[in-house]
Amino acid sequence: MKVVILKNAAEVAAYGAQIFIKTIAAKPNAVLGLATGSTPLALYKELIAARKENKVSFSQVSTFNLDEYLGLAGTHPQSYRYFMNQQLFDHIDIDKARTAVPAGDAVNPLKACAAYEAAIVAKGGVDVQLLGIGRNGHIGFNEPSSSLRSRTRVKTLTRATIEDNARFFGPDEFQPHLSLTMGIGTILESKKIVLLATGESKAEAIKATVEGPLSAACPASALQLHENVIVIVDEAAASKLSDVEFFKHIEAENQKILNKYSV
């Protein structure tokens, strides 16, 4: 697991965006795994800016989002499909037919989950999967106690996650307590995983992810099993790590190697 500690959220977004831009440059028809929430927003703004400056094209790219609320159609302002359209897809040269978000309004959500898994496989798998992380260590909507080998499925949200997301819903607005989410096992099949975290509120989760035991109590700790994970955090999110300077030293040495040798 590679841990990159940067000064602030803006640097985190810029660093993460470059990974996606370089991936597309090397493979124009790359398959990207995307995430919603507040943390990825700055990264998406970086990608939009890069597109406007003709530094990247998404014309052949395909995407799969991590999750969606069960019970919300893609046209609902609180749905993750709506979020992705508003925050990214409407502003880049991507064919929306190539963008997939779990069907929150599916008649049979169990079949929809199985179909989502099959669609990822049919595309050859995800080349780079973007993740945020919840305060309780959840990735996607894989809450604590989720199986580390879980597949795309219907998942009950914890009270903590419901409370965290309540700010996006009006006082009399229906807020779903169920979701469709890629499983941890599904996520781990991605060729590369990029996790972003900013702010002190994520510090405990990052410590558990990077240094803690492999445990369903912290779903993100399963990333320790993956051979190509980059955890990009600001100093606040890294503040609970046992040896911040150690990780900064490793990244500095890695950059020397990358500058010396072509990859």
Catalytic residues: 67, 136, 138, 143
Four-residue CA torsion sign, 14, 10, 96, 72: positive
Beta-bridge partner residues of 64: 33, 100
Whole-angstrom CA distances from 136 to 34, 41, 144, 222, 255 are 20, 20, 7, 14, 31
The values of phi and psi at residue 210, to 5°, are -85, -45
CB 47 within 8 A of CB 92: yes
DSSP state of 157: P
d(CA 75, CA 96): 14
d(CA 217, CA 180): 20
User: How are strands ordered across the β-sheet holding 178-181?
Assistant: 67-69, 178-181, 153-156
The single residue listed with the structure tokens 């502003």 is: 91
Q: Cβ-count burial of 251 within 10 angstroms (0-12 exposed, 13-18 middle, 19+ buried)?
A: middle
Largest CA distance in the chain: 58
